[in-house]
Amino acid sequence: MDTMASHPHTPSTIDARAVHACDSLDTELTPQDYAALALLAVNNKEPINSLTKANALTYIAQVGGLHDADHEIDYSPTVDYFTFNNRTPCPHSTELNDTLQKLADLNLITESQHTNRNSKLSRYEYTITDSGGDLLDHALHTVIDVSTIRTLKLVKSLYNSMASPKLCDITVRDYDFRESGDGFVSGL
């Protein structure tokens, strides 16, 4: 059985501020829902082209500090909205995957499947809808703080265009993902 543990900064501190910002929505959204919406909304609503990439981007945003060949960029890590299983080759959060499915079911994001004709492999692309963007705008400062938005924007702008396997390699090399056998690993 895989062990998953949460990091000390959990969204429980802001759960009470989760708001129901859209009267037509029957389900109250959680801070985790808003964090996923924010990740999809930053950088002019640029899509995220795989579930693996969505997991890796969210993991890097939660860890804090960006690394590349030339320099390190310090930034405030986001609240730990999701726990990650470190017994996989790349960060994986069942919570994030469930959140994305919930948001797709509510038509707040689109989940499009693309199949490569040659290899028959499928990947999913995630995009925020106009309804999801409007909902996020209504609740932005009550649920997601400005530093979280900045962090998500920075991580997405630096890593979203990268191929998923390379991004997974970076999480292992630069963020010590999988270094520990138990749950969430920050490495910093």
Domain boundaries of the chain, sorted by first residue: 30-175
Per-residue confidence band for 20, with pLDDT thresholds at 50, 70 and 90? very low
Mean pLDDT of 57-70: 73
Residue 174 in this model has a pLDDT that exceeds 80: no
Report the predicted TM-score, pTM, of the whole model to 2 decimal places. Answer: 0.76
Q: Hey, what's the torsion of the CAs at 56, 47, 131, 83, to 10 degrees?
A: 0
Instruction: Find the range with the poorest average confidence among 23-32, 131-140, 176-185.
Output: 176-185
Under 8 Å between Cβ of 183 and 86? yes
Q: Are 61 and 78 in contact (CB under 8 A)?
A: yes
pLDDT band at 93; cut points 50, 70, 90: very high
Give the Cα separation of 173 and 175 in Å (integer): 6
- Higher pLDDT among residues 63 and 75, named by residue: 63
Q: What is the mean pLDDT of the chain?
A: 76
pLDDT at 9 exceeding the cut of 90: no
User: Do residues 2 and 87 make contact, with C-beta atoms less than 8 angstroms apart?
Assistant: yes
Helix residue ranges per DSSP H, 80-182: 94-105, 130-143, 146-159, 164-175
Whole-number pLDDT of residue 7: 37
**Low-confidence winner among 24-28, 119-123, 145-149 (lowest mean pLDDT):** 24-28
